[in-house]
Amino acid sequence: MRIFITGGAGYVGSHCVREMCNAGHHVVVLDNLTSGGHREAVDERATLVVGDLADAELVRGTLSEDRFDAVMHFAAMLNVNESVSKPLRYYQNNVSNTVSLLQSMQACGVGKIVFSSTCATYGDVTVAPITEDMPQHPITPYGRSKLAVEWVLRDCAAAWGLGATALRYFNASGASSDGTLGEDRKPEYHLIPLILQVPLGQRADIKIFGADYPTPDGTCVRDYIHVEDLGTVHRLAIESQQAGEFRFYNVGTGHGASVREVIEAARQVTGHEIPAIETPRREGDPPELYADPSKVIRELGWQPAYPTILPIVETAWNWHQAHPKGYAS
């Protein structure tokens, strides 16, 4: 297949580019190399076009130069807290730019897309595990922007035969198994890389936001899904996509790890004591969020290769230890 991948120089996108190249697909990446995108992360077998998704002329021109079979769409702004203070940026980038992309796809006869969605579309959930038939009531502009794109994809599937899959990630984590691709975002706000900054000497301790939740050890529980497992599920989704079909899947391991469990895994992997400081809860943090992935397992035949937290942290540590300054190392 000939696949156009937006945001393919980013954390999840770059791993998916490698997965598609390994499977023998022809890949062209569009990335503006900001917000976590890195030229060094793009597989050398792929073609990189440096540009912004907002440049409709560039997008349409690139799509028209090649007979693409499908699009994988990762280009988006991801900081939940920032979306609250700057909602227009998120609706412009995540929704308006996606509509423009779809218009270009329709004009160029590209009829399949896999979309990087999020479990944040479910909102403030009080029941776990989360299934796809649960109501979607996102509570932030980030989550609402992702849900809006899902609505657009559903309507395009019905109106002009677009084949579309929305993959609702839980917590993307880890790094490539060979240690050459990993997470390099500034500022960093994901738990595992923040924890690993302690043994790297980049911070003194890790904060635990709330230790009095109704969970086994009092800390929040989340579903950590390895980034290579995300690559596999994207490949399975695009290879099986049918015209006019809108599909949606939760992508997680099916169980969670608490903040304390993640810290303890990092202690085991790094051999560092990693001081942890308990602080008050953050507003809006639910006690438990983890997926029921039975639908994606059943329909796509996918299985996570990294079902537990320790090997996920091991791959992350291999990357961060070798790249303490990210790709600039």
pLDDT, tens digit, 9 for 90 and up, residues 241-269: 999 999 999 999 999 999 999 999 999 99
CB atoms within 10 A of CB 235: 22
Cβ neighbours of 283 (radius 10 Å): 6
**pLDDT-based confidence at residue 284 (cuts at 50, 70, 90):** confident
pLDDT band at 12 (very low <50, low <70, confident <90, very high): very high
Residue 297: count of CB within 10 angstroms of its CB? 15
**Do both 164 and 303 map to the same domain?**
no
Whether residues 23 and 84 share a domain: the answer is yes
Do 47 and 144 share a domain, yes or no? yes
CATH of residue 201: 3.90.25.10
Of 194, 249, 184, 254, residue with least CA distance to 222: 254
Confidence of residue 140 (pLDDT cuts 50, 70, 90): very high
State yes or no: pLDDT of 205 exceeds 80: yes
- For residue 63, the domain's CATH number is 3.40.50.720
Q: Are residues 147 and 293 in the same domain?
A: no
pLDDT score for 186: 87
- Respond yes or no: is residue 213 known to be catalytic: no
Domain containing residue 62: 2-172+224-251
Catalytically annotated residue among 142, 224, 249, 290: 142
Do the domain assignments include residue 177?
no
Measured distance CA(224)–CA(134) in Å, rounded: 20
Do 116 and 196 belong together in one domain?
no
> Span 214-240, mean pLDDT?
97
Helix (H) or strand (E) holding 50: strand 47-50
**pLDDT tens-digit profile of 97-106?**
999 999 999 9
Determine the average pLDDT of the residues in 73-79.
94
Taking residues 195-211, report their average pLDDT: 98
Query: Kind of pairing, strands 257-258 and 221-222?
Result: antiparallel
How far are the Cα atoms of 30, 33, 134, 190, 284 from residue 47, in angstroms, in the given order?
9, 14, 39, 29, 41
Calculate the CA dihedral of residues 165, 3, 25, 35 and round it to 10 degrees. -90
Same domain, residue pair 235 and 295? no
pTM summary value: 0.96
In the chain, the amino acid numbered 293 is: P
